[in-house]
Chain A
Amino acid sequence: MTAEYRFYLKQNIGTRSEPIVRQGDRVERGERIAAKPEGLGAALHSSVTGTVVLVTEDEIVVRDTGTDFFSYRRLTGKTPWERVEEAGLVGLGGAGFPTAEKLRSRLGVNATVVVNAVECEPILCHNIARIEEEAGNLLDALQIVMDLMKAPNGVVAIKRRHTKAVAALRAADRGGRYRIATLEDLYPMGEERAVVSETMGVLLPPDSLPSEANAVVINAETALRIREAVVLQKPMIDKDITVAGKLRENAGVKVLRDVPVGRRISDVFEMAGGLGNEYGELIMGGPFTGSRTTPAKAVRKTTGGLIAAECFPKGPEKIGLLVCACGANENRMREIARGLESSVCGVACCKQAVKVKSAYKCENPGHCPGQIQKVMELKKQGAQALLIGNCTDCSNTVMACAPKLNLKVYHTTDQALRAVNHPLVRRMHPDEKNGKNRSEANVYDD
């Protein structure tokens, strides 16, 4: 295992953390190595005990000199608030919004805290795995956040098909104090506004935050880490990760608990049995919204998935991109098109995708507005096939027309899903809403 741990100074939305150590300093596991900057940001702690070997504008590198991974330097804050602020927590669902900042948002009376345990990206399962064993801790975490925010209502949103986790939660909720909301198995049920819409019946406009529905939505692992900070005085130094794909054990899906932040990606794959000989690309994150990474990079606070995807098939000469807000962005789609060795002849954007700041947000996540016009448009532009990144519902609509137009359909998640023998995102099976994940592997897929 590589002794060097890389701590990126920018692991969250906002400004980068400010180093407070210098080259040569000794640091302990759990010790703060970079401070929260002015404004939006978070502190950063070393996940190993060792020597600081490099401090640059972008990262601090610490050489592990024999870390006891079962202990850590404790947070010193006296109150729960102080500990949350000190812990360097960020949203662990992927976005990385500083948690302390989020919890500071003012809610009205009778507010609601929703723990987002939807984990809607396919393959990823580290949240559910943890909840199955620590349902009580999750409810404790929910109560801590409710107390911090003075919100009387607590909800856990989780997919119906995770029957074991749902049962564990119900069992742990002895007093019936919390609402366990069970959702359908569709992507993007876990999108923040989709969670609000599904659990509270309020469809927020794309540029709104849940606070407009008098609610706050916290990712399940974030909640658990908040609990660790408050109860165990533990800073944000470890992360649960799903490692999957073309591993030495083919089509493997492994959940790794408490992987130290900063560990090299290649080492994390080793922990899961090692990378296979052949793979197409390494993806950090889930199949839908993840991005390409390399073995030399390091685990971030927000790293949820590491997937070694299947090798790219050879695509058609000309491909049309159907960009939506819920999946890969246009750049990522172009990257995948290059993988398919196809040239992009047209780009259409889902009608529901609305630009908020620099990214797209979906007006009504998971509810298709119709895609046929866009598909015909791309066909007119010469597309021989489509590359789509759409959610389950929109992909289903595309599949209702593209094959009839003699257009083959590729989905951005294909190679990741193939690598674990997961059904591809194509046509929805009519029973899918019953919680069975049964999207058909379509005949148009090779």
Chain B
Amino acid sequence: MSMTTETLKANLKEPAIFCCRRRRGTVISAADLEDPSLFDDMAEAGLLTLSGDALTVEEALGATLLADCEALTPILPSIVEGTRKTEKEKSERLAPMEAGEPAGTPFAKGASGMMHIEIKSLEGLSLDLPWPGLFPSEAVAAAAPAALSAAVPSAAQGEDKTLRTLTKKYFQAADVVIGEKTSFEDGVLTLDRGLLEKALQADPLVKEIKMDVIKPADRHIYTDTIMDVCPIAAKVSGTLGEGVTHVMEGAVFMLTGVDEDGTQVHEFGSSEGYLDEKMAFGNPGCADGNDIIIRVETIIQRHTGMERRGPLAAHKCEDVIIQAARDVLKTANQAPLREEICRDVKKHGRPRVVLVKEIMGQGAMHDNILCPNEPCGVTGGQKNVDLGNVPVMLSPNEVLDGGIHALTCIGPSTKEMTRHYFREPLVRALAADEELNLLGVVFVGSPQVNDEKTFVSERLGAWMEALGAEGAIVTTEGFGNNHIDFISHIEQIGKRGIPVVGVSFCAYQGQLVVGNRYADVMIELNKDQKGFENEVAGCSEICPKDALRAVQMLKNKMMGVEIKPAPKKWSQQVVDGNNLLLGL
């Protein structure tokens, strides 16, 4: 792909390679030369061999070609006349170029140990430097002088307004049994086996349904593909995001599915196999180490596993069973194990930031249910696909109160399951950050059709502009097709002058296929050693460390701290280095 005048300037010292066949007599210009950012990929694919003799871009410009030349041919001094003489300080490496499309996490610069704050014009500055304060270690503070409060007058603080409060009360489930009558007494959750019959009636597409209880020690057991992990949470008072929610601790539901022919419900990789090998226990969306897993196994109508209606039917049936558990949890007669208070706070004077979560919405089988009647439920919720994938705003509390029920059936390891949203680490990190004013969490779908992709991205951009956002983090689950939307969202936000950080699984298998100049700061979610979708449910989803890196990266970008470009190829070392910087 030939260069523009802009890319040309950045690449004067790079080797000059013809992008296409050129004729004798051609006076070489930017339009004739291949963009050096592609050289790495091209060399890797065996398309290009660079030699040290090639002229640099700077030297070749304006020279006249003496013979016809094929595409991807380095321009040698012997085939041109009228080259410009320049000092021979070619860029150090011939092959590697900085990525226009970074595949790993860039990290912050500032190893000098100096803190530099530049303020062009300001009145009445009163500095409160959080040193070491907010940051867990000195090294990080040195590396990340992005204490945003430094730039805002301290007087502006102290006028925070709590918009709503949510109390989550956690009740310990010591045991789960299947019996005759649903109850929750003395820490024992009993589920009526008659519920299965009732659940089956929720949707005719579900042909068979089974339920069993898997204790932590019994996880070496075969399972069909894991469609979801769903907490048991029930609204006791108030509406979604405020009031009181009861949450069962120590027991979660897990939904699995196959169709009548035994085909796993999945699209890109399914997670059937031995349960102990197929889930990243302890990650936000997964069962924890000591959780009792209530497995609901569904068999759905033949050939509907790749359609939206099939998986949806399985979720509906499971919801009938969970609802029975919710109903008894509401009237728990024991003392809660612990309480968690979540607040939606308007933090006065702090920069306004928005979290954008791209969710799947590709008609076929990817959908998400927004704002159901009960936390993490299905009934009463709005289907993202039916809404046209347009951006929908939830408050942080609404998200953490189970405002999303996930139906997504993409690659298991990057999939954000229902429990993920209930414990979303990035929502928690942003909401808890005293330096940032989290305006809300936008959920935007990833439509199948390209024109619709543009439409939803543009609407997202319009929202961000209208909200006056001063910073944004965009996350996505999956990889590949949805990266088109992901990058487009980043562009729509970035081009409005809003600093934006991307968060995604990319690594080796999910390298970004598109990019733009706003997509220059990325957080890598991969947890697989080789960088693959490893079909372990919840393995490469957003975890607390990722969330903290993302928040710091956003602060760095907002403060104009230099962020090093990522190396072209994914490297775990970059992520490790960043974690180290942040003391994680």
Q: What residues on B are CB-neighbors of A380 within 8 Å?
A: 511, 513
Does A405 interact with chain B (Cβ within 8 Å)?
yes
Q: What residues on B are CB-neighbors of A374 within 8 Å?
A: 1
> In whole angstroms, what is the CA distance A384 to B23 when docked?
31
Does B158 interact with chain A (Cβ within 8 Å)?
no
State the Cβ distance, B487 to closest chain A Cβ, in Å.
12
State the Cβ distance, A59 to closest chain B Cβ, in Å.
32
Q: 1/0 per position for B1-27, CB-CB distance to A under 8 A? A: 110000000000000000111010000
Establish whether residues A369 and B2, one from each chain, have CB atoms under 8 Å apart when the complex forms.
yes
Residue with the highest number of chain B CB atoms closer than 10 Å, among A364, A374, A400: A400
State the Cβ distance, B577 to closest chain A Cβ, in Å.
27
Nearest B residue to A398, CB-CB: B71
- Contact (A372, B1) CB under 8 Å given A393-B21, A397-B20: yes
Establish whether residues A401 and B21, one from each chain, have CB atoms under 8 Å apart when the complex forms.
no
Q: What residues on B are CB-neighbors of A433 within 8 Å?
A: 23
Q: 1/0 per position for A360-394, CB-CB distance to B under 8 A? A: 00001001111111101101110000000000011
Establish whether residues A368 and B21, one from each chain, have CB atoms under 8 Å apart when the complex forms.
yes
Instruction: Please pick, from A376, A396, A405, A430, the residue contacting B38 in the complex, using a CB distance under 8 A.
Output: A376
State the Cβ distance, B488 to closest chain A Cβ, in Å.
15
Establish whether residues A372 and B68, one from each chain, have CB atoms under 8 Å apart when the complex forms.
no
Establish whether residues A372 and B42, one from each chain, have CB atoms under 8 Å apart when the complex forms.
yes
State the Cβ distance, A439 to closest chain B Cβ, in Å.
12
Establish whether residues B513 and A397, one from each chain, have CB atoms under 8 Å apart when the complex forms.
no
Q: 1/0 per position for A405-446, CB-CB distance to B under 8 A? A: 100000000000000000000001010010000000000000
- Contact (A396, B71) CB under 8 Å given A369-B31, A405-B47: yes
Establish whether residues A370 and B20, one from each chain, have CB atoms under 8 Å apart when the complex forms.
yes
Establish whether residues A368 and B46, one from each chain, have CB atoms under 8 Å apart when the complex forms.
no
Q: What residues on A are CB-neighbors of B20 within 8 Å?
A: 368-371, 393-394, 396-397, 400
> In whole angstroms, what is the CA distance A394 to B2 when docked?
12
> In whole angstroms, what is the CA distance A401 to B70 when docked?
11
Q: What residues on A are CB-neighbors of B70 within 8 Å?
A: 400
Interface size on B, residues (CB 8 A): 24
Q: What residues on B are CB-neighbors of A371 within 8 Å?
A: 1, 20
Does B322 interact with chain A (Cβ within 8 Å)?
no
Q: What residues on B are CB-neighbors of A428 within 8 Å?
A: 21
> In whole angstroms, what is the CA distance A397 to B2 when docked?
12
Does B45 interact with chain A (Cβ within 8 Å)?
yes
Establish whether residues B47 and A381, one from each chain, have CB atoms under 8 Å apart when the complex forms.
no
Instruction: Please pick, from A347, A364, A381, the residue contacting B513 in the complex, using a CB distance under 8 A.
Output: A381
Q: What residues on A are CB-neighbors of B35 within 8 Å?
A: 370, 373
Q: Is the interface of A mostly helix, strand, loop or mixed?
A: helix
Q: What residues on B are CB-neighbors of A368 within 8 Å?
A: 19-21, 71
Establish whether residues A397 and B1, one from each chain, have CB atoms under 8 Å apart when the complex forms.
no
Q: What residues on A are CB-neighbors of B1 within 8 Å?
A: 351, 369-374
Establish whether residues A397 and B71, one from each chain, have CB atoms under 8 Å apart when the complex forms.
yes
> In whole angstroms, what is the CA distance A371 to B47 when docked?
13
Does A357 interact with chain B (Cβ within 8 Å)?
no
Q: What residues on B are CB-neighbors of A405 within 8 Å?
A: 45-47
- Please report which residues of chain B, range 58-98, place their CB below 8 angstroms from some CB of chain A when the two chains form the complex: 68, 70-72
- Contact (A401, B71) CB under 8 Å given A369-B2, A372-B42, A376-B38: yes
Instruction: Please pick, from A364, A372, A396, A430, the residue contacting B34 in the complex, using a CB distance under 8 A.
Output: A372
Does A404 interact with chain B (Cβ within 8 Å)?
yes
Nearest A residue to B46, CB-CB: A404
Does B208 interact with chain A (Cβ within 8 Å)?
no
Give the interface size class of chain A: 20 to 34
Instruction: Please pick, from A372, A376, A430, the residue contacting B19 in the complex, using a CB distance under 8 A.
Output: A372
Does B41 interact with chain A (Cβ within 8 Å)?
yes
State the Cβ distance, A297 to closest chain B Cβ, in Å.
30
Establish whether residues B19 and A397, one from each chain, have CB atoms under 8 Å apart when the complex forms.
yes
Establish whether residues B47 and A373, one from each chain, have CB atoms under 8 Å apart when the complex forms.
no
- Please report which residues of chain B, range 172-208, place their CB below 8 angstroms from some CB of chain A when the two chains form the complex: none
> In whole angstroms, what is the CA distance A393 to B2 when docked?
14
Nearest B residue to A402, CB-CB: B47
Q: What residues on A are CB-neighbors of B68 within 8 Å?
A: 430
Establish whether residues A376 and B511, one from each chain, have CB atoms under 8 Å apart when the complex forms.
no
> In whole angstroms, what is the CA distance A397 to B70 when docked?
8
Q: What residues on B are CB-neighbors of A377 within 8 Å?
A: 513-514
Q: What residues on A are CB-neighbors of B34 within 8 Å?
A: 370, 372
> In whole angstroms, what is the CA distance A364 to B20 when docked?
14
State the Cβ distance, A343 to closest chain B Cβ, in Å.
14
Nearest B residue to A363, CB-CB: B31
State the Cβ distance, B35 to closest chain A Cβ, in Å.
7
> In whole angstroms, what is the CA distance A369 to B19 when docked?
7
> In whole angstroms, what is the CA distance A127 to B6 when docked?
44
> In whole angstroms, what is the CA distance A374 to B34 when docked?
13
> In whole angstroms, what is the CA distance A397 to B34 when docked?
12
> In whole angstroms, what is the CA distance A287 to B480 when docked?
34
Instruction: Please pick, from B31, B42, B72, B450, the residue contacting A376 in the complex, using a CB distance under 8 A.
Output: B42
State the Cβ distance, A351 to closest chain B Cβ, in Å.
6
> In whole angstroms, what is the CA distance A405 to B47 when docked?
8
State the Cβ distance, A187 to closest chain B Cβ, in Å.
15
State the Cβ distance, B114 to closest chain A Cβ, in Å.
40
Nearest A residue to B21, CB-CB: A396
State the Cβ distance, A438 to closest chain B Cβ, in Å.
14
Residue with the highest number of chain A CB atoms closer than 10 Å, among B1, B46, B450, B480: B1
Nearest A residue to B31, CB-CB: A369
> In whole angstroms, what is the CA distance A364 to B513 when docked?
26
> In whole angstroms, what is the CA distance A376 to B34 when docked?
14
> In whole angstroms, what is the CA distance A5 to B490 when docked?
57
Nearest A residue to B68, CB-CB: A430
> In whole angstroms, what is the CA distance A367 to B2 when docked?
11
Q: What residues on B are CB-neighbors of A394 within 8 Å?
A: 20
Q: What residues on A are CB-neighbors of B71 within 8 Å?
A: 368, 370, 372, 396-397, 400-401
Establish whether residues B513 and A370, one from each chain, have CB atoms under 8 Å apart when the complex forms.
no
Establish whether residues B21 and A376, one from each chain, have CB atoms under 8 Å apart when the complex forms.
no
Nearest A residue to B512, CB-CB: A380
> In whole angstroms, what is the CA distance A376 to B515 when docked?
14
> In whole angstroms, what is the CA distance A372 to B21 when docked?
12
A-to-B contact residues, CB < 8 Å: 347, 351, 364, 367-374, 376-377, 379-381, 393-394, 396-397, 400-401, 404-405, 428, 430, 433
- Top 10 A-B pairs, shortest CB-CB distance: A370-B19, A368-B20, A400-B71, A373-B1, A370-B1, A397-B20, A370-B2, A369-B2, A397-B71, A380-B513
Instruction: Enumerate 17 A-B pairs (CB-CB under 8 Å) in ascending A order.
Output: A347-B450, A351-B1, A368-B19, A370-B34, A372-B72, A376-B38, A376-B45, A377-B513, A380-B513, A393-B20, A394-B20, A396-B20, A396-B71, A401-B45, A404-B46, A404-B47, A433-B23
B-to-A contact residues, CB < 8 Å: 1-2, 19-21, 23, 31, 34-35, 38, 41-42, 45-47, 68, 70-72, 450, 480, 511, 513-514
Known: A371-B20, A373-B1, A380-B513. 10 other contacts (CB 8 A): A368-B19, A370-B35, A372-B34, A373-B38, A376-B42, A396-B71, A400-B72, A401-B45, A428-B21, A430-B68
